[in-house]
Structure 1
Amino acid sequence: MKHHAARISLLLAALFVSACATLPGAGDAGSAAISRPLSDVSPSTPAESRARVHVDLGMAYFEIGRYDVALDEARIALNDSPDYAPAYHLLGLAYMLIEQHAPARQSFEQALRHAPGDPEFNNSYGWFLCTQGEELRGLERLAQSARNPYYRHATRPYTNAGLCHLRLKDDAAAEGQFLAAVQADPSNRQALYQLADIAYRGGRYEQTRSHLIRLHQQSEPSAASVWLGLRTERRLGNHDAEASYAAQLGSRFGSAEEYKMMMQGKYE
């Protein structure tokens, strides 16, 4: 359950004109033309306007975990406008979160057949491919998304690319992507935490501390970030700071796995 919740958090953190085109191949980024995100483009027909209302409603339900309603709204949107790419994108997201991988893949690819240059679609499909053990293909999609000059959320594909490189156990490449994510959005909490975690694994404890200070200045600490801070200060021999983190872990996250590890003395 904990791992499933973590996968959901990763996806939601990272997620959120079209001329018809044929993909060079299923799941192949190819040389698709760059285009604006369809979410930034006004519907061109009354049918698309109705479809967009349902997709927007479905996305709202998706974000609160009502994937069944999100699927229903996407299907209603497609009844209004059978080629409406954002509806296929929503289907892909919902199917992905309920772990129906075959229809998720089919839905993402259908969305990209209608809008191959949409950066949001490429970001979502790229991360999906990474979760399916197709990291190299996923990274191609994520790179295409990040390169799109019309995309206002390049921090998302950079973050997903970093996570994808972590799946390949390539900390150096992941760190480069997370640095790009923070450059695109200095408040990207997930990227800042991952940078701190990578620095810790590399024995760069002062750098870990610096990333964590920046993270905690911008957002409330999590059990994971407090635990990382505690272990960092322990490595640096800063006993007062370590004790402060320990007190915070106990008072705010007493039921967390990190607190249990602290009490058992399992620091690594």
Structure 2
Amino acid sequence: MSTLRWGAVLLLLSVLVGLAGCAGGANAVDNQRAAEANANLGADFLRKEDNENALSRFRRALDYDSSNTTANWGMAVVSDRLGEVEDARRYYEKTINLQPSAAIYNSYAAFLCKEGDVDRAVRYFERAANDERYPGRSDAMANAGLCLHRAGQVDSAEEHYRQALAMDSSQLTALTGMARLKFEQGDFLRARAFNQRADSVAQLNADQLLLGARIELALGDRDAAAAYVERHNAREPSATLSLRQLEQSR
């Protein structure tokens, strides 16, 4: 899923470090500064995918200040990475209580969707998308569409994809989602149109290139399908897919 990307998560983690409060006496200030320093180091380790050291630093930050937003969100992210689902849920919910924001809603919603809690996920995605100050509004709405699509709620998925495209006509998740949705519905011309729009705004990944090939095969354009297969194989150096193999897999 094109949920909040790790880079965006880490960027917001660094912003949250700077926003941590400084109220209280000297000891409180010292504790908050120590918490911020450790949370910042944790975010650096998280960026390097060093989960164990990130976990250690975030825990140390929380020892100094249990209300440090960055450390709590970092703990949510690390716990999710390590498969500690209930810990991740607890830290996400604590982070939302400490400092609710659209970016955190989007991140938590992605977690909820992954865990199969589609209705709650969509509510949080929508909450993020409805915040006009949030620059990722269209991303959150598209993420809601993708979550619903994967859950088989096709009509609602299309509605959310289209709302995302109304916010940003080049939103990639919504464009590729609509291409796949229309392909699944047998509406191959519209599937092609959405896929071509996606191809014009971003470099398609291997799965999206295969979708493009399948759409063109469905429309009878073997040359266009072969071009997508060639691009797919170029993106995946170990791939040796042929057009014939793709045709046989339909």
Does TM, scored on the shorter chain, surpass 0.5? yes
Contact 1:253 1:259 in 2 (8 A): no
Q: 1:9-47 deviations in whole A, cap 9, x for unaligned?
A: 75637953xxxxxxxxxxxxxxxxxxxxx7497333155
1:205 aligns to 2:188 (yes or no): yes
2:94 is matched with which residue: 110, 116, 122? 110
Q: 1:54-76 deviations in whole A, cap 9, x for unaligned?
A: 43443343344322233223223
Quote the Cα distance in structure 2 between the aligned partners of 1:131 and 1:98. Answer: 14
Q: 1:190-226 deviations in whole A, cap 9, x for unaligned?
A: 3322221111111222222222222222222321111
Unpaired segments ≥5 residues, structure 1: 1-6, 17-37
2:73 is matched with which residue: 72, 77, 89? 89
Total equivalences in the alignment: 238
Residue 12 of structure 2 corresponds to which residue in structure 1? none
Residue 3 of structure 1 corresponds to which residue in structure 2? none
Give the Å deviation of 1:106: 1.2
Q: 1:48-101 deviations in whole A, cap 9, x for unaligned?
A: 455445434433433443222332232233233221123211111111122110
1:43 aligns to 2:26 (yes or no): no
1:12 aligns to 2:26 (yes or no): no
Quote the Cα distance in structure 2 between the aligned partners of 1:144 and 1:10. Answer: 14
Residue 124 of structure 2 corresponds to which residue in structure 1? 141
Between stretches 43-52 and 139-148, larger displacement belongs to 43-52
SS at match of 1:259: coil
Quote the Cα distance in structure 2 between the aligned partners of 1:262 and 1:10. Answer: 34
Give the Å deviation of 1:105: 1.0
Residue 230 of structure 1 corresponds to which residue in structure 2? 213
Quote the Cα distance in structure 2 between the aligned partners of 1:184 and 1:71. Answer: 37
Contact 2:3 2:140 in 1 (8 A): no
Quote the Cα distance in structure 1 between the aligned partners of 2:244 and 2:80. Answer: 35
Contact 1:14 1:160 in 2 (8 A): no
Give the Å deviation of 1:162: 1.6
Residue 136 of structure 2 corresponds to which residue in structure 1? 153
Contact 1:155 1:184 in 2 (8 A): yes
Contact 1:15 1:156 in 2 (8 A): no
Between stretches 156-165 and 176-185, larger displacement belongs to 176-185
Residue 54 of structure 2 corresponds to which residue in structure 1? 70
Q: Which has the higher contact order (CA 8 A, sep 6+)?
A: 1
Q: Partner amino acid for 2:211?
A: L
Between stretches 40-49 and 66-75, larger displacement belongs to 40-49
Contact 1:162 1:176 in 2 (8 A): yes
2:85 is matched with which residue: 80, 96, 101? 101
Contact 1:261 1:267 in 2 (8 A): no
Alpha-carbon distance change, 111 to 217 in structure 1, aligned in 2, over 3 angstroms: same
- % of aligned pairs identical? 23
Unpaired segments ≥5 residues, structure 2: 10-14, 23-28
Give the Å deviation of 1:158: 1.4
Q: Partner amino acid for 1:179?
A: R
Quote the Cα distance in structure 2 between the aligned partners of 1:114 and 1:262. Answer: 56
Give the Å deviation of 1:186: 4.2
Residue 27 of structure 1 corresponds to which residue in structure 2? none
Contact 1:125 1:141 in 2 (8 A): yes
